[in-house]
Structure 1
């Protein structure tokens, strides 16, 4: 058994899909609708990301979130901000953190992890 797809809620599925496609280099598995889309890696196998329409409020401290790994954290954070992400107010940072907390266009929080940290 393995994780095939992570599902996130979005009030505006097309807007969220545009952000995540640009952020991750993913493509639509089937054409998106206003209510649903599954995004998959353009370069082959990997974990998919599904976006389903939801009016549920965003959790300030989400029970589940994405961790995106990179060796170029500063550059990736800057790129994601230009795509529409926002820095999330996060008061739980440890000293010398290896992660930055951002929010996507829907307010869903995710972390950008610096794999070169340390």
Structure 2
């Protein structure tokens, strides 16, 4: 089973984006931000997380979905069977995500949760 864990939004100025989106969406920081990453959650009630990711390239894909799975490997295989492709990606050590592309080439991540 998959669900949207976060919408990841690429931004050029993390502090400016934090100010705008916390006020614009009535959100708060889930935990203290990193230099290049912050996660916002609704102030009240449930809702989808908005993850802000610092991007430095105009060509970078600026937005994508993080899909959370209880059985990541099974979900990745299911998505591949439906027409997804593995993206060419350089993973950091101990990565908890797999980068895939939908049939149109839009990237998204499958995370183990």
- TM-score when normalising by structure 1: 0.47
- TM-score when normalising by structure 2: 0.48
